Structure 1
Amino acid sequence: MAEIMIIDDDTHISDMLCEALQVEGYAVSRAYSGTEALMLLSVRKPDLILLDLMLPGLSGEELIHRINDIPVIVISAKTATSDKVGLLLKGAADYITKPFDIDELLARITVQLRKSKSVSEGVIKCGELQLYTDSHTVKYSDKDIKLTRTEYAILKLLMQNEGQVVAKLTILDKISDDTPDCTEDSLKIHVHNLRRKLKAVSDTDYISAVWGIGFMLKY
C-alpha cells in the first residue's frame, strides 16, 4: 500500500484529500506546517507528497529543497506560469492549482507512483532506453552504453524527470554526492558527451537543452 503525505495547513482541504485517498486504498500521513513535515520526513519516507506552498514555519518553497527521492505534487492557489515553472525547476514532479478536480489529482498521483515504482524495481525506462539502478548500467534495446559515473548520474536524474526541464543548479545539487567533481562549467561538457553516446546507439537525440535554464530528456 502506497503512503501519501499531505502537507497543508488548511484542515478542510487536508480532510477532503485524506478521505479521497483512503477510499482509493492509500495510506495517509499528514503535516500542518513545513516544520512538522520536516520532522516527520526525518523518521519516515512516504511514496509521494502533496505539498501546499503557504505553510506556517517553513514554506513549501523552502521545504521542497530538503526533499530528496520522493515525488512532490505541489497544490497551490498560485496560478502564475512563473510560479509553476519555478517550482518544477526546483524539483517538484507536478503542479496543480486550487481549486482542483479530485479525479485529475488522483490521475496525476497514479502517474507519479508508476514512475517511482519503476525506479524501486531497479530499472528506469524511456522507450528503448533502460537504466538499471542496481548494476549502474545503461542499455538501448540490447546494446550496452558505456557511461562515466557523472554521465550515469545525470542520465538517471533526467530519466526520473522525463519530459520535464531540470535546471542546471538542480542537477549539480542532486548529483553532488556521487559526482563532486562536476561543476557548472563542466556540466555542459558531460551532457554533450552523454548526448553523443546516446545518439550513437539510438540515432535519437534524447536530451535537449533549454537555453539559460537546464536540460530535458524526452523520447
Structure 2
Amino acid sequence: MKNILIIDDDIHIGNVLEETLAKEGYSVIRAYSGTEALLVLSTTHPDLVLLDLMLPGLNGEDILPHIKDVPVIVVSAKVDVDNKVDLLLNGAVDYVTKPFNMKELLARISVHLKNTESMRVSSELTFEDIVLNTNTHVVKIGNTEIKLTRTEYAILKLLMQNPTQVVTKSLLLDRISADTPDCTTSSLKMHISNLRKKLREVNNKDYIEAVWGIGFKLRTE
C-alpha cells in the first residue's frame, strides 16, 4: 500500500483528500504545519507528498528542500507562474492549483508514483534488507541510512551487483580503482572490515563473508 503524506492546515481540504485517497487504496498521514511536517518526515518515508504552501510556522517553500527522494506535488491557491517555476526547479514534480479537480489530482498522483517506481527499479540494488541507490549513493538497511566512505560504497555496490558470486580481491581492486585510488591490496582488508562493522551495527547481522584465499561474497542463509 502506497503511503501519502498530506501537509495542509486546511482541515476540510485535508479531510476530503484523506477520505478520497483511502477509498483509492492509499494509506494517509497528515501534518498541519511546517514544523509538524518536518517531524513526521524525520520518522517516516512516504511514497508521495501533497504539499500546501501557506502553512503556519515554516511554509511550503521552506519545507521542500528537506524532502529527499520523494515526489512532491504542490497543491496551492497561489497561481503566480514564476512561483510555480521556482518550485518545480527546486524539487517539486508537479503543481496543482486550488480549487482542483479530484479526478485530475488522483491521475497525477498515480502517474508520479509509477514514474518514481520505475526510477527506483532502475537505480536501486537490493540484497535482503539492504537498499543501495546508485543515483543518490544512499545506502539503507530498513529505514536506517548507513554512512559509508567512497571506497566502502564502491565495494558494497560491486558485491550487490554480484550477489551470488565470490568477488575476487583482484577483481574488487580492478573494478573500484578508478573511483577509489586510496584502496590498495594492503588496505582492502581494512575497508572490508569497516564496511562489515557499519552494516552489522544496524541489526547485529553480518552481510559479508570472506572466502579464504579467494575474495568476498554476500552472506546467504
For Structure 1 versus Structure 2, the TM-score category normalised by the shorter chain is 0.5 to 0.7
- Mapping 1:39-78, distance limit 5 Å: 39-78=39-78
CA RMSD across the alignment: 2.1
Measure the CA separation in 1 of the matches of 2:88 and 2:26. 25
Measure the CA separation in 1 of the matches of 2:43 and 2:124. 24
Q: Tell me, which stretches of 5 or more residues in structure 2 are unaligned?
A: 127-133, 138-148, 151-221
Q: CA deviation at 1:153?
A: 4.9
2:66 maps to a residue whose letter is R
TM-score normalised according to structure 1 size: 0.57
Q: CA deviation at 1:83?
A: 1.0
Q: CA deviation at 1:133?
A: 3.7
**Equivalent residue number for residue 100 of structure 2:** 100
Selected match of 2:125 from 98, 118, 134:
134
1:66 maps to a residue whose letter is H
3-state secondary structure, aligned to 1:96: strand
Q: Tell me, which stretches of 5 or more residues in structure 1 are unaligned?
A: 124-131, 136-151, 157-176, 179-219
Measure the CA separation in 2 of the matches of 1:16 and 1:3. 16
**Equivalent residue number for residue 91 of structure 1:** 91
Q: CA deviation at 1:117?
A: 1.1
- Mapping 1:168-187, distance limit 5 Å: none
1:75-110 CA-partner distances (Å, limit 9, x unpaired): 000111111101001100100000000000000000
- Mapping 1:145-160, distance limit 5 Å: 153=135
Measure the CA separation in 2 of the matches of 1:36 and 1:2. 21
3-state secondary structure, aligned to 1:22: helix
Measure the CA separation in 1 of the matches of 2:119 and 2:33. 29
Measure the CA separation in 1 of the matches of 2:93 and 2:3. 16
Measure the CA separation in 2 of the matches of 1:19 and 1:133. 32
Measure the CA separation in 2 of the matches of 1:79 and 1:119. 30
Q: CA deviation at 1:134?
A: 2.8
Alignment partner of 1:9 is 2:9: yes
**Equivalent residue number for residue 141 of structure 2:** none
- Mapping 1:9-28, distance limit 5 Å: 9-28=9-28
Measure the CA separation in 2 of the matches of 1:82 and 1:31. 26
**Equivalent residue number for residue 34 of structure 1:** 34
2:62 maps to a residue whose letter is E
Q: CA deviation at 1:57?
A: 1.1
3-state secondary structure, aligned to 1:134: strand
Identity value in percent: 55
**Equivalent residue number for residue 216 of structure 2:** none
3-state secondary structure, aligned to 2:53: coil
| Greater radius of gyration (CA) | 2
1:134 maps to a residue whose letter is L
1:100 maps to a residue whose letter is F
3-state secondary structure, aligned to 1:28: strand
**Equivalent residue number for residue 147 of structure 1:** none
TM-score normalised according to structure 2 size: 0.56
Measure the CA separation in 2 of the matches of 1:74 and 1:97. 8
Measure the CA separation in 1 of the matches of 2:119 and 2:3. 16
2:35 maps to a residue whose letter is T
Measure the CA separation in 1 of the matches of 2:42 and 2:27. 18
